[in-house]
Amino acid sequence: MRAGVAGERYGVGQTAGVDLSLGDDLRAFVDASPSPSHAAAEIARRLEAGGFRRLAETAVWDLSPGDAVFTVRGASVVAVRVGSDPVAEAGLRIIGAHTDSPTFRVRPRYDVRQAGYRLVGVEPYGGGLWHTWLDRELTVAGRLALRGGTTVLAKLPGAPLRLPSLAIHLDRSVREGLTLDPQRHLQPVWGSELSTEPGLLQALASTAGVDAADIVGHDLVLADTQPAARAGVDGTWIAAPRLDDLACCHSGLLALLGVSAETRHTQVLVCNDHEEVGSGSASGARGSFLEDVISRLAGSEPQAFARTIAASKLVSADMAHAVHPTRSERHEPSHQPVLGGGPVLKLNANQAYATDAVSGGWFTERCQEAGVPVQHFVSRADLPCGSTIGPLTATRLGLSTVDVGAPQLAMHSVRELCSAVDVPLMKAAFVSCLRG
């Protein structure tokens, strides 16, 4: 399944031997997903196109082997393909990822006017590299809650918002390092105070084809508008916003849609919102969403849920740090994943990652079956380790969990970098996990 060999050399534009089509599809997926709500809708759209049926959480679910269904809670999605064996016996094969990325969320009273400008009041969401958002073409995207309880997606066309840098002539201390106060310095401008354009919600309402008077709430975030692009000398890299963790949502989705329909195990894809802010929400990994779906799949027999959990495997898929070209000393010297080198198995002695001998060994075996190489990531002993949905889901449900990810650079920048070579490798690894 390996589409290309890391380190193999190609001339510019000569990418023979490397299948970039799935990388191009990842770019389309990212471009269609400027907000977590859009990502959930794009996942749902692709699932429906692949024959999956949408079920409401309020409905009674009556599932049979071969059924392919999904349900949506907020900006989170759980998709299920029911296997031939009872889940309490065969267990579940679950791929988990997250739909959200660091950004800025629009405040309820967003219409700020100062220094002759109209600004949009926003609040940082997650731990972004905020300086990378300066001088970028930005927009607003997300969902609008309408009178009566429905929601609609909305995104402003063009690139109406901007966070301009301060000229160096007005603050030469920037040479010693840029300090940004999110309350004062990170409020995007979108016009002159003299502009007679309508307000933000009016503009969003007209693009969404709804009446602004019907909007009763919103989940709106800033998004970079530059489309994802091929990058690097041979065009095999992907420069894009929100790769963490849309790239893993995408690979998981490709795997679930691509795996053969006849399967013994029931296969699950869960894409949670709110990972970047700790996952503590109804739709986050610390909430009940996955557990609620598993209890429906397990059935009513008293021990079925516990037996299902005991027989299941969770692959927690969140992007991993490839070694940095000029800052390699920040990596543990013996563990330096490379772009295009395949899935990264993440381990941490202090359980910031949920991988253990058994779950990591199981994942490694699945990759070997698929002919996919495995890289390893551990933090330096003198640096703190990030975390992800794996340990949270494992803690809540007791699932055997392995933390993995595709290698990338510039994590949490507004513009991240990964390799298209890893997309088919991640897909192949996940297909093997869903079968195994």
Query: Which residues would be at the binding site for Zn ion (CB under 5 A)?
Result: 244-245, 318
Q: How far is the CB of 49 from Zn ion (least distance, A)?
A: 26
Whole-number Å distance between alpha carbons of 432 and 436: 6
- Residue number, 245 or 273, with CB nearest to Zn ion: 245
User: Are 248 and 418 contacting, i.e. CB atoms less than 8 angstroms apart?
Assistant: no
Q: Which helix (H) or strand (E) holds 218?
A: strand 215-224
Nearer to Zn ion, 187 or 279 (CB): 279
Distance CA 244, CA 12 (A): 27
- Looking at beta carbons only, is 234 or 244 nearer to Zn ion? 244
Taking the least distance from each CB to Zn ion, the nearer of 244 and 273 is 244
Q: How far is the CB of 277 from Zn ion (least distance, A)?
A: 11
DSSP alpha helices (H): ranges in 140-211? 182-185, 200-208
Cα–Cα distance for residue pair 213/148, rounded to 1 Å: 12
Work out how close the CB of 248 gets to Zn ion at its nearest, in angstroms, rounded to a whole number.
Answer: 8
**Longest pairwise C-alpha distance within the chain:** 71
Strands in 117-173 per DSSP E:
117-125, 138-146, 151-155
| In the complex, minimum distance from the CB of residue 367 to Zn ion, in angstroms, rounded to a whole number | 21
In angstroms, give the least distance from the CB of 122 to Zn ion. Answer: 21
Our CB check for Zn ion shows the closer of 318 and 422 to be: 318
Q: Which is nearer to Zn ion, 224 or 244 (CB)?
A: 244
305/377 with CB nearer Zn ion = 377
Closer to Zn ion by CB, 101 or 266: give it: 101
**Backbone dihedral angles phi then psi of residue 397, each to the nearest 5 degrees:** -105, -20
Pairing relation of β-strands 76-81 and 266-272? antiparallel
Q: From the CB of 35, what's the least distance to Zn ion, in Å?
A: 16
Kindly tell me the sign of the dihedral angle through the C-alpha atoms of 428, 425, 275, 160.
negative
Rounded Cα distance, 359 and 420, in Å: 26
CB of 261 to Zn ion, least distance (A): 30
Q: What is the Cα–Cα distance from 122 to 189, expressed in whole angstroms?
A: 11
Chain-centre distance for alpha carbon 96: 10
Alpha-carbon distance of 291 to 309, in angstroms, equals 10
- Shortest distance in whole angstroms from residue 320 CB to Zn ion: 9
Assigned token pair, 221: 């975030």
